[in-house]
């Protein structure tokens, strides 16, 4: 069921969005050559405890997960692009790292992701990250009253096509509210004017993710981490966005 939030409820969601943005900023600052993925997860876990928030990941066990996730942060490195399960791995010079984080604060959820290069970047990785962020901005720009869900996907898909990137439709954005994943599904491509109409009060996570040369993925033996079939690297960007009469409101904006 698709739920619409009142202006007062959207205001109540702001603290969760601000906290998610704060944690991702701290994680970006902490990510460096030699830092272990488990240390990044521990940092996020400590900030959750200090804030009195609740992780959306640690007990998360959807049908596609082999077991409860068990960590509070997704850390996807290089050819891993989604649902990266933190494990003992020290970041190396040039690694492409995606961080995905969601929590509940006072009963309201916010969800966001960012990608970065640790150490010396490859130009193609920087272009991939920039394209993914540009696709996110395009999707947010289409999240206005009077449009439809697939207008968001179409805006994202157009950026990917212009950059020559393949598009995977298995995983995408979703409704956000009292739980992390709700209706509607927000695919990363679509046909203009199709799908659920966008009305004030709809809160969604918009999350483009792309791989350099493929749209085919497989699951690691850990039962969670999704990797490209051809070894190409991936980038992921996500914000929680409320649709309002005044335009899209990015609840997880960093540096706001």
Annotated binding site for substrate: 83, 181
Backbone angles phi, psi at 195, to 5 degrees: 90, -175
Three-state DSSP state, 141: helix
Three-state DSSP state, 238: strand
CB 252 within 8 A of CB 240: yes
Backbone angles phi, psi at 19, to 5 degrees: -70, -45
Residue ranges of the annotated binding site are: 83, 100, 111, 174, 181, 207, 238
Encode burial over 239-253: b for 16+ CB neighbours within 10 A, e otherwise.
bbbbbbeeebbbbbe
Would you give the end-to-end CA distance of the chain in angstroms?
A: 31
Widest pairwise Cα distance in the chain: 48
Beta carbons within 10 angstroms of residue 194's beta carbon: 12
Q: How many residues does the chain have?
A: 256
CA distance 26 to 76: 17
Residue ranges of the annotated binding site for a divalent metal cation are: 100, 111, 174, 207, 238
């Amino acid at each position: 069921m698709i739920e619409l939030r009142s202006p007062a409820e959207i205001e109540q969601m702001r603290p969760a969005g601000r906290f998610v943005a704060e944690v991702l900023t701290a994680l970006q600052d902490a990510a460096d050559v030699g830092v272990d993925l488990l240390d990044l997860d521990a940092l996020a876990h400590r900030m959750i405890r200090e804030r009195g928030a609740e992780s959306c990941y640690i007990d998360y066990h959807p049908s596609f997960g082999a077991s409860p996730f068990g960590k509070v942060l997704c850390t996807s490195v290089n050819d891993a692009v989604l649902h990266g399960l933190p494990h003992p791995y020290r970041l190396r010079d040039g690694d492409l790292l995606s961080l995905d984080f969601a929590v509940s604060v006072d009963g309201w959820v916010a969800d966001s992701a960012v990608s970065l290069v640790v150490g010396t970047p490859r130009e193609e990785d920087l272009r991939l990250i920039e394209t993914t962020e540009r696709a996110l901005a395009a999707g947010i720009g289409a999240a206005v009253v009077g449009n439809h869900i697939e207008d968001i996907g179409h805006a994202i898909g157009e950026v990917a096509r212009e950059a020559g990137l393949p598009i995977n439709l298995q995983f995408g954005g979703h409704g956000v509210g009292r739980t992390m994943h709700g209706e509607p599904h927000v695919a990363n491509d679509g046909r203009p004017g199709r799908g659920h109409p966008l009305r004030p009060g709809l809160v969604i996570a918009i999350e483009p993710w792309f791989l350099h040369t493929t749209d085919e993925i497989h699951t690691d033996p850990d039962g969670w981490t999704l990797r490209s079939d051809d070894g190409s690297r991936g980038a992921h960007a996500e914000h929680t966005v409320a649709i309002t009469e005044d335009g899209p409101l990015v609840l997880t904006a960093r540096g706001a």
